[in-house]
Chain A
Amino acid sequence: MRRTIFLPLIVSLLTGTALAEPAPGGVANLIVQPEPPSIMIGITTNAPALDIGGNIYEGLLRYDEKLNPMPSLAKSWDISPDGTTYTFHLQDNIIWHDGQPMTAADVLFTVNDFLTKTQPRHRNIMTRVKSVTAPGDKTVVFSLTGPFEPFIRALSFATMPIVPKHIYEGTDYAANPANQSPVGTGPFKLTEWKKGSYIKLDRNTDYYIKGKPYLDELIYQIIPDAASRAIAYETGNVDILPGGSVENFDIPRLSQLPNTCITDKGQEYNAPLAMIWMNNRVAPMDNLKFRQAVEFALDRDFAKDVLWNGYGKIATSPFSSLLPFYSKQEPQYSYDPAKAKALLAESGYDGRPLRLLPTPYGETWQRWAEAVKQNLEEIGIPVEIQTGDTASYNQRVSNWDFDLAFTFVYQYGDPAIGGDRHYKTSQIMKGNPFNNVAGYSNPEADALFDAAAIAYPASERQKLYDQVQAKILEDAPVAWLLELGFPILSNCKFKNVVTTANGISDAMRDVYIEK
């Protein structure tokens, strides 16, 4: 009986999906939060700018959820057997939004001139590149100084967006008026930006993939209050809520709404990892036993289940498990107050109160700081929470003016690009809130990181990264907390909402509305 009901259903589902052609047309209403200052992502690279700019500018490659490269501006690529030469073949008929053809010259200009001036992260990558040349209009060759396997994962729109040479060459990049009216190659063009209200993109009819994009318009609504954003989705004014648009505690309620789909995919590239920096330079955090006591004192399950409503995953390594070369090593720090107390006693801690800085990004973080305060006070460490806004938080952590500070870091697809900067000695620099702020320094770890970055092929890198992860876990320079989950909510009639490791940022070209 059951079979007779199900079989036709399955058949119709299969044939249905097989026959369904994505239908063109329609509008998607999304949220952008907060309003970015600009969506010229060669200059402004914060998350909201990338969310929109990823549909306007493109990189040479895109990445699937396992971070394997897929074609984007480059339709194919070859890597020499020794891992030092990367040759990219560009797509046919790529046209800038102002009608000019896009060629290898634009790529050369972007990587050699433009991004080296505007983006610190790009400068780091280019230290591994000996030269970039263009043997033809549609071919670009990167010659590396030696094998650097992560290079293949550094070519997304988020790291290396290709910008138009004919508009920027010879100008002051930061002050170019084109930054306000971006010209890219992407599937959508900026048509209207009503500051404080919305940003509207229209379909690029000359896009090099025929038939794409499917949607006519993307409208990014700017709604400053988190509760109002939730209501906007509830009332149907917004169709897609990118990760982090609403407070985490609203997600269970919203995901119960009829016709609502939820996914936590699409953050594989950024792989946000939450942790507490311990200021390793000063007592008592300079004492290994004290730091380990903190590790064992934290109830990460409570944070995940209660504060983050079950989204996310408990961190088990200095890297996120979404990052290549992640491995789970010993020691592991589970919630064990008794052990924490014993370690604290051994450390000789004098009972001095510690200053804890929460991150200034909303209520969940504030509550998390309160939970950590309670955890630490239970084992006998008095804590004073010092709240500030973004500017004061940034200033205090970059000037090392803290004892304990929450943070969450992006890992950008590879330990050698976004992962090791929090642990290497060479990355200790005052005035920067995104490097080794904790001040951890271990020559053994440094040597392993340096070797792992340039080892070739990937299997060689894995061995070195296994060792270094165990070493850092043992040294406990920071308290690892959670791999954060920022689920994307959407009306189920929108299909293909997430197709890459970058979430909705570069996926809108594939999105269509099921009729």
Chain B
Amino acid sequence: MARFITERLFKAALILLCIAILNFFLIRAAPGDPATIMAGESGAADEVFLQQLRERFGLDKPLYMQLFAYLSSVVKFDFGYSYRQQVPVLDLIIDRLPATLMLSVAAFVISLVLGIAAGAFASARQGRWSDTLISTVALLFYATPLFWLALMAVLLFSVQLGWLPGFGYETVGAGYTGVRRMLDILQHLILPASTLGLFFMAIYARMTRASMLEVNTMDFVKTAKAKGLRPAVVQRRHVLRNAILPVVTLAGLQAGQLVGGAVLIETVFAWPGIGRLMFDALSQRDYNLLLGVFIMSAAMVLLFNLITDVLYRIVDPRIRVTS
């Protein structure tokens, strides 16, 4: 196992390097550069001004030199300065990462717990009206655009009912501290996390249901039932345990998106996370910042893939891990 993990980590580092190079060129392929954006924002500009900006950012040097300079600093864990904000990229990312992790982990847990529970429940009630209801609702959530659901949730729970705050990370200017502040943040978390979780919850529910129905027909389940085990125990110990593998696979994929996948939700709910940072960096052609976020998300994907593979073995020891 240890050797497996070391080998995988080594490969991951190589992949990251390739991703950095690829992204470097992809970003430069987009029209416009940070200087044109900043000149555009200043409302007036001349050639001197643009030239000053490009020199300051090192954009006047040949592309291969820029790439080399970038890569040699990245291997030293120095992601450079954000052109626009004049702050180290790493500081910006670290500043925003907790908010995104909190949002995504909450969405992850909500979707996994509710999705599996709903799926298991539906499979036990196969053909009954509750099964149909769960399947229909899941299909609906799966098919509806996330930002629309988000806006509707805000309209209902914030504007109409006034139960939950509709945007932001905490109540600005309230000056809460300690437990009161935690509760406040939690309140703000509910809407974005549940909206973000809905899509995957729908997938997990349908997958768990289908998978459990399939396992239900297998011989070892019949044997277990014949031994006189209680139906609930059969479902939990024998069926669910075997049916959960495809869900774990998918959860691994979702976990990989923890960092970058929340752009829309963070925008609608004004959640100060990394998804928005990435989007802003893209539209401002803030190359260093954008590359930094890309590398960070790629690292997350690789890490969670590794964790998923290890989890496979824990869920089903018959699976052997090889790299």
Q: Are B267 and A224 in contact (CB under 8 A)?
A: yes
Residue B42 lies at the interface, judged by CB distance under 8 Å to chain A = yes
Quick one: which of A219, A388, A433 has the most chain B CB within 10 A? A433
Nearest Cβ distance between residue A365 and chain B, in whole angstroms?
15
Neighbouring B residues of A27 by C-beta, 8 Å? 173
Give the nearest-CB partner of A50 in chain B.
B43
> 0/1 per residue, A8-31, Cβ < 8 Å to B?
000000000000000000010100
Q: Give the distance in Å from the alpha carbon of A35 to the alpha carbon of B33 in the complex.
A: 19
Neighbouring A residues of B266 by C-beta, 8 Å? 224
> 0/1 per residue, A173-187, Cβ < 8 Å to B?
011000110000000
Neighbouring B residues of A219 by C-beta, 8 Å? 172-173
Q: Are B172 and A391 in contact (CB under 8 A)?
A: no
Neighbouring A residues of B270 by C-beta, 8 Å? 197, 221-225, 228
Within 8 A of A (CB), among B260-311: 266-270, 272-273, 276-277, 280, 283-285
Q: Are B32 and A392 in contact (CB under 8 A)?
A: yes
Residue B39 lies at the interface, judged by CB distance under 8 Å to chain A = yes
Q: Are A394 and B268 in contact (CB under 8 A)?
A: no
Q: How many residues of B contact A (CB 8 A)?
A: 54
Neighbouring B residues of A232 by C-beta, 8 Å? 166-167
Neighbouring A residues of B214 by C-beta, 8 Å? none
Q: Give the distance in Å from the alpha carbon of A119 to the alpha carbon of B173 in the complex.
A: 34
Q: Are B173 and A194 in contact (CB under 8 A)?
A: no
Nearest Cβ distance between residue A246 and chain B, in whole angstroms?
14
Give the nearest-CB partner of A176 in chain B.
B86
Residue B222 lies at the interface, judged by CB distance under 8 Å to chain A = no
Give the nearest-CB partner of A224 in chain B.
B267
Stretch from B48-56, B121-129, B245-253 at the A interface: B48-56
Nearest Cβ distance between residue A348 and chain B, in whole angstroms?
33
> 0/1 per residue, A340-363, Cβ < 8 Å to B?
000000000000000000000000
Q: Give the distance in Å from the alpha carbon of A237 to the alpha carbon of B49 in the complex.
A: 39
> 0/1 per residue, A382-401, Cβ < 8 Å to B?
00000011111111101000
Q: Are A35 and B268 in contact (CB under 8 A)?
A: no
Stretch from B153-161, B193-201, B202-210 at the A interface: B153-161
Neighbouring A residues of B46 by C-beta, 8 Å? 120, 123, 429, 432
Residue B30 lies at the interface, judged by CB distance under 8 Å to chain A = yes
Residue A410 lies at the interface, judged by CB distance under 8 Å to chain B = yes
Q: Are A228 and B166 in contact (CB under 8 A)?
A: yes
Stretch from A37-45, A307-315, A438-446 at the B interface: A37-45
Query: Residue B86 contacts which of A175, A198, A396, A432 (CB distance < 8 angstroms)?
Result: A175
Neighbouring B residues of A388 by C-beta, 8 Å? 31
> 0/1 per residue, B73-113, Cβ < 8 Å to A?
00000000000111100001001100100000000000000
Known contacts A46-B41, A120-B48, A232-B167; is-contact A194 B272 (Cβ 8 Å):
yes
Give the nearest-CB partner of B266 in chain A.
A224
Residue B36 lies at the interface, judged by CB distance under 8 Å to chain A = yes
Known contacts A27-B173, A120-B44, A195-B95; is-contact A235 B159 (Cβ 8 Å):
yes
Q: Are A174 and B56 in contact (CB under 8 A)?
A: yes
Residue A281 lies at the interface, judged by CB distance under 8 Å to chain B = no
Neighbouring A residues of B33 by C-beta, 8 Å? 391, 395
Neighbouring A residues of B92 by C-beta, 8 Å? 195
Residue B169 lies at the interface, judged by CB distance under 8 Å to chain A = yes
Neighbouring A residues of B284 by C-beta, 8 Å? 390-391
Q: Are A394 and B269 in contact (CB under 8 A)?
A: no
Residue B40 lies at the interface, judged by CB distance under 8 Å to chain A = yes
Q: Are B43 and A45 in contact (CB under 8 A)?
A: yes
Neighbouring B residues of A429 by C-beta, 8 Å? 46-47
Q: Are A394 and B173 in contact (CB under 8 A)?
A: no
Nearest Cβ distance between residue B84 and chain A, in whole angstroms?
4
Q: Give the distance in Å from the alpha carbon of A198 to the alpha carbon of B92 in the complex.
A: 15
Q: Are B173 and A44 in contact (CB under 8 A)?
A: no
Nearest Cβ distance between residue A264 and chain B, in whole angstroms?
21
Give the nearest-CB partner of A172 in chain B.
B56
Q: Are A197 and B168 in contact (CB under 8 A)?
A: yes
Nearest Cβ distance between residue A33 and chain B, in whole angstroms?
11
Q: How large is the interface on A (under 10, 10 to 19, 20 to 34, 35 or more residues)?
A: 35 or more
Neighbouring A residues of B285 by C-beta, 8 Å? 391
Q: Are A46 and B30 in contact (CB under 8 A)?
A: no
Neighbouring A residues of B268 by C-beta, 8 Å? 225, 227-228
Q: Are A394 and B36 in contact (CB under 8 A)?
A: yes
Q: Are A395 and B173 in contact (CB under 8 A)?
A: no
Neighbouring A residues of B283 by C-beta, 8 Å? 389-391
Nearest Cβ distance between residue A31 and chain B, in whole angstroms?
10
Neighbouring B residues of A195 by C-beta, 8 Å? 85, 92, 95-96, 272
Query: Residue A391 contacts which of B32, B47, B158 (CB distance < 8 angstroms)?
Result: B32
Q: Are B169 and A46 in contact (CB under 8 A)?
A: no
Q: Are A231 and B155 in contact (CB under 8 A)?
A: yes
Give the nearest-CB partner of B158 in chain A.
A235
Residue A153 lies at the interface, judged by CB distance under 8 Å to chain B = no
Known contacts A224-B267, A228-B154, A391-B37; is-contact A197 B96 (Cβ 8 Å):
no
Q: Give the distance in Å from the alpha carbon of A376 to the alpha carbon of B280 in the complex.
A: 35
Give the nearest-CB partner of A236 in chain B.
B162
Nearest Cβ distance between residue A267 and chain B, in whole angstroms?
14
Q: Are B45 and A120 in contact (CB under 8 A)?
A: yes
Q: Are B45 and A45 in contact (CB under 8 A)?
A: no
Q: Are B45 and A38 in contact (CB under 8 A)?
A: no
Within 8 A of B (CB), among A484-499: none
Give the nearest-CB partner of B84 in chain A.
A37
Q: Give the distance in Å from the alpha carbon of A46 to the alpha carbon of B169 in the complex.
A: 26
Q: Give the distance in Å from the alpha carbon of A156 to the alpha carbon of B153 in the complex.
A: 44
Q: Are A390 and B37 in contact (CB under 8 A)?
A: yes
Q: Are B85 and A197 in contact (CB under 8 A)?
A: no
Give the nearest-CB partner of A37 in chain B.
B84
Query: Residue A197 contacts which of B56, B162, B169 (CB distance < 8 angstroms)?
Result: B169
Q: Are A217 and B45 in contact (CB under 8 A)?
A: no
Q: Are A394 and B172 in contact (CB under 8 A)?
A: no
Neighbouring A residues of B169 by C-beta, 8 Å? 197
Q: Give the distance in Å from the alpha carbon of A299 to the alpha carbon of B196 in the complex.
A: 43
Nearest Cβ distance between residue B154 and chain A, in whole angstroms?
6
Nearest Cβ distance between residue A150 and chain B, in whole angstroms?
15
Neighbouring B residues of A47 by C-beta, 8 Å? 43
Known contacts A27-B173, A223-B270; is-contact A390 B95 (Cβ 8 Å):
no
Give the nearest-CB partner of B56 in chain A.
A174
Residue B137 lies at the interface, judged by CB distance under 8 Å to chain A = no
Query: Residue B31 contacts which of A120, A196, A396 (CB distance < 8 angstroms)?
Result: A396
Neighbouring B residues of A123 by C-beta, 8 Å? 46
19 residue pairs from A and B, CB less than 8 Å apart: A34-B280, A121-B43, A197-B168, A197-B172, A197-B270, A219-B172, A221-B270, A223-B167, A225-B268, A225-B270, A228-B167, A232-B166, A391-B40, A391-B284, A392-B30, A394-B37, A395-B33, A429-B47, A433-B39
Further 14 A-B residue pairs, CB within 8 A, beyond A196-B99, A237-B167: A44-B42, A119-B44, A121-B43, A174-B56, A174-B86, A179-B86, A180-B87, A200-B173, A217-B173, A224-B276, A225-B267, A431-B47, A432-B39, A433-B39
Which residues of B does A touch, CB under 8 Å? 30-33, 36-50, 56, 84-87, 92, 95-96, 99, 151, 154-155, 158-159, 162, 165-169, 172-173, 266-270, 272-273, 276-277, 280, 283-285
